[in-house]
Amino acid sequence: MINSELPYYAVIFTSVKTNDDKGYQQMADLMERLASEQKGFLGIESARNEIGITVSYWKSLEAIKLWKAHIDHQAAQKLGREKWYASYTVRIAKVEKEYSHEK
């Protein structure tokens, strides 16, 4: 659960990987660590089966823009396009309401 004042933003990254995943997990771990150090980063959730879904949460659109422009993130994006992803989609949504349930 993200503990942040509403509204905040979600970057929803869905992907289908290629068969070549050499170096992928190391890069994913690095990107998560670097993102967590960025101003405005609120958290991340991820799952992968046939398709992968990673949702990162941000305080503002400006924080998202700065992360997209981060030099190491740009290098990871390039490798993703060239090597790791058969396809992907990025969506940015404004979170205005949230609720959850836990047992």
pLDDT tens string, the chain, 103 residues long: the values are 687 899 999 999 999 999 998 999 999 999 999 999 999 999 999 999 999 999 999 999 999 999 999 999 999 999 999 999 999 999 999 999 999 999 9
Domain residues of the chain, as ranges? Answer: 8-95
d(CA 2, CA 74): 26
d(CA 94, CA 41): 14
Is 8-95 in CATH node 3.10.450.50? no
Is this prediction's pTM over 0.85? Answer: yes
